[in-house]
Structure 1
Amino acid sequence: MRKIINPFSLLLFVLLFSCKKEGQECVLDNEVLGIQIDFELERLEDQFFEARTKEDFSYLLDAHPLFAQNYLQMGTYSERDDLIEELLWANKDTLLIDLYQEVRTYFADISELELELRTAFKHIKYHYPEFKVPKVYTVVTGFGSDIYLDKDILVIGLDYYLPFEHRFQPPDLPLYITKRYQREYLVPMVVKAISTQFNRTDMSQNTLLAEMIYYGKSYHFTKSILPCTPDEYIIGYTADEVAACFANEVMIWSHFVENDLLFTTNPFEIRKYVGEAPYTDAISPDAPGRIGRWLGWNIVDDYRFNNKFSLQEMMLESDTEKIFRQSGYKPRP
């Protein structure tokens, strides 16, 4: 896949994305920003690492019952004290303490993160008035979990989002995935996780197209909620990879058409194009991995904009073949 100097630019749909361009600055819609939401973020990593006794931890579990029940799974312990003993043990682990200190240094001020999350939740509330904003907790997990989300709470493991050059990195992730665990990717990851609540894609056909549409909806939703966020932070490519994909869109699409890939149900073939991988070797060693997801994003974009659907209408459509047919998708030459 050749590299280019001037990337192909998508047409910006100002109103649908609630964002306008003034020079190079992206300005969010005041109507969205004016929405009132019940938003609360609590930094639990400080409270938990400052706790020293069983009484301290017992107080924290009582003070944060949803966190204790939903995230710590307190109900799975035969005795409450068993969970407290685990927490006390973790607080004495020297590596975990060291990791916590590094998180405290790098994330000393998370006011910008708090603002980004608040703004994202306002955008979701704008499109989905019934959306319940989860209470947000930050923690240090010892690389146990990056993002936990349910209908009540959102838990962010800040240790996953230390700089890529940092000596602490998630131990079980390959390098090409670890590079996506950076501060800039955090809020897009959260929004993509939330998108699953609204994504009604029918996966029962088990086709590559269904997978492409599912992920395409996820990325389209995320871009709609974070209109000023560059594409690379949404899909997890570099800026050069995004530019190269657009420059080679005709070639990429031709590969899918000529090899009759869209309706294949072969799981090994599907994985080649939407599964995690450093590159899509079936197309080119220079083609980034998960390129089927990127192509699905383009199809979903065209489906919504060519038919003037609302975000809700687009996310509710379950028929992947209908989405493809009505998208009128054609690669940009």
Structure 2
Amino acid sequence: MMNRLMILMLASLLAFSCQRNPLKVDVSDVELELTFKSYDDDLFASAENLEEKVAGLQAEYGTFFDLFNHHMIGIGGPEDENFYPQLEAFLSDTMIVNLKAEADLRIDRGRLKNDFTEAFRHYRYYFPGQVVPAVYTCISGLNESVVLADSLIGISLDKYLGADFDYYPRLGLPAYKIRNMHPQKIVPEALYFWAMTEYPISTQASKVIESMIYEGSLLYFVDAMQPEVHDSLKIGYTSDQLEFCQAGEADMWAYLAEHNLLFSTKRMDIKRYVDDGPYTSSFTTESPGRVGAWLGWQIVRSYMMKNPEMSLKQLMETQDYLQILNESGYQPD
């Protein structure tokens, strides 16, 4: 009786360990003091004495100050003749003022900081020697969602106000983009772009399958940074779209293989299967865009399960995407 009980206990433990997500690591002892600042708060607080306070903003925010003014809102720098009039016009514009008010209402900065801190604890766990970027929030007038430099991430809060925010459809944005313009998307999207910046695709990559696997590695990076976050949020799918991919995985893979698309070097083929869109034209309108990226994600997951000695850093530095495919043992049923 005792032997049978021990066998059952061991079987249960084995089943549990097989189901456990290997990326759910303990980062409670990882020390991190994240730099998280609200540039939008400081900028709007400076509106009444702009010329006096710009030097302080420039000193405090440095590279981000330049990125914001030159690239996000396109007004140049303080040395330019029209800089101050244009910045004053930006801060007094009715739409900008409304966007700022909605961001303050809809986005919890404390929670956002906590989510970034938890994600970058994982980053420090996997990449102990790497610089953890500062995170700055701003209102960009619905320009870039995320901007990056060597040691910073800038987030346009006005691009994440929720699918119900009425400005977005009025501006003609497509529904598939609006669906992902909500606060919960900020951190996974920022992490995805951070990984893309830190680990760009090989200049030698020219095939559909190589872009698929590269995209899969970026999504796996987000997996590692946010192991508790649902897949649908990481890739930006609805639950129905995720179910479509899970149910049709083998068929989609077979279609790409049978039509000789995996090794196609045509730019339009790469865009069709990797870029975002309302759906993937080779399949039904119920399919999501980026099915190639989703399949690449499953390939990378299979590869990492088959090669447990491979570190996340080694994966992100690997640019032989065909080797990942060959060693993944990927064969969807």
The separation in 2 between residues aligned to 1:231 and 1:291, in whole angstroms, is 13
Deviation, 1:203, is 4.4
Structure with the larger helix share = 2
The separation in 2 between residues aligned to 1:150 and 1:70, in whole angstroms, is 9
Contact 2:78 2:84 in 1 (8 A): no
- Which entry has the higher C-alpha Rg, 1 or 2? 2
Q: What are the within-5 Å matches in structure 2 for residues 64-75 of structure 1?
A: 64-73=61-70
Deviation, 1:205, is 3.7
Structure 2 vs 1, CA of residues 205 and 193 (structure 1 numbering), >3 Å: closer, same or farther? closer
Partner letter of residue 61 of structure 1? Answer: Q
The answer for the alignment partner of 1:315 in structure 2 is 316
Where 1:193 maps in the other structure, the secondary structure is: helix
Deviation, 1:76, is 5.4
Partner letter of residue 58 of structure 1? Answer: A
Deviation, 1:237, is 0.6
Among 16, 23, 27, the alignment partner of 1:17 is 23
Partner letter of residue 209 of structure 1? Answer: I
Deviation, 1:252, is 1.0
Contact 1:135 1:153 in 2 (8 A): yes
Contact 1:302 1:329 in 2 (8 A): yes
Deviation, 1:195, is 1.0
Q: Identity over the aligned pairs, expressed in percent?
A: 28
Q: What are the within-5 Å matches in structure 2 for residues 145-160 of structure 1?
A: 145-160=144-159
Q: Does 1:325 align with 2:326?
A: yes
Q: Which has the higher contact order (CA 8 A, sep 6+)?
A: 1
Deviation, 1:201, is 4.2
The answer for the alignment partner of 2:235 in structure 1 is 235
Tell me whether 194-203 or 131-140 shows the greater mean CA deviation.
194-203
Contact 2:205 2:211 in 1 (8 A): no
The separation in 1 between residues aligned to 2:87 and 2:281, in whole angstroms, is 45
The answer for the alignment partner of 1:213 in structure 2 is 213
CA displacement 1:198-235 (0-9 Å, x = unmatched): 43643424110111011000001101110000001111
Structure 2 vs 1, CA of residues 189 and 12 (structure 1 numbering), >3 Å: closer, same or farther? farther
Deviation, 1:100, is 1.3
The answer for the alignment partner of 2:7 in structure 1 is none
Structure 2 vs 1, CA of residues 149 and 136 (structure 1 numbering), >3 Å: closer, same or farther? same
Structure 2 vs 1, CA of residues 129 and 204 (structure 1 numbering), >3 Å: closer, same or farther? same
The answer for the alignment partner of 2:55 in structure 1 is 58
Structure 2 vs 1, CA of residues 197 and 205 (structure 1 numbering), >3 Å: closer, same or farther? closer
The separation in 2 between residues aligned to 1:215 and 1:45, in whole angstroms, is 32
CA displacement 1:114-169 (0-9 Å, x = unmatched): 10000111101100011211221111111022111111221111111112111222
Tell me whether 113-122 or 201-210 shows the greater mean CA deviation.
201-210
Q: Does 1:142 align with 2:137?
A: no
Where 1:133 maps in the other structure, the secondary structure is: coil
Contact 1:199 1:214 in 2 (8 A): no
TM-score by length of 1: 0.86
- Structure 2's unaligned 5+ residue stretches are 1-17
CA displacement 1:284-309 (0-9 Å, x = unmatched): 22221110110011111111110111
Where 2:287 maps in the other structure, the secondary structure is: coil
CA displacement 1:154-186 (0-9 Å, x = unmatched): 111111111211122283632211211111111
Q: Give the CA RMSD over aligned residues.
A: 2.1
Deviation, 1:280, is 1.1
TM-score by length of 2: 0.86
The answer for the alignment partner of 1:3 in structure 2 is none
- Structure 1's unaligned 5+ residue stretches are 1-10, 20-28
Among 8, 23, 44, the alignment partner of 1:49 is 44
Tell me whether 190-199 or 302-311 shows the greater mean CA deviation.
190-199
Structure 2 vs 1, CA of residues 58 and 86 (structure 1 numbering), >3 Å: closer, same or farther? farther
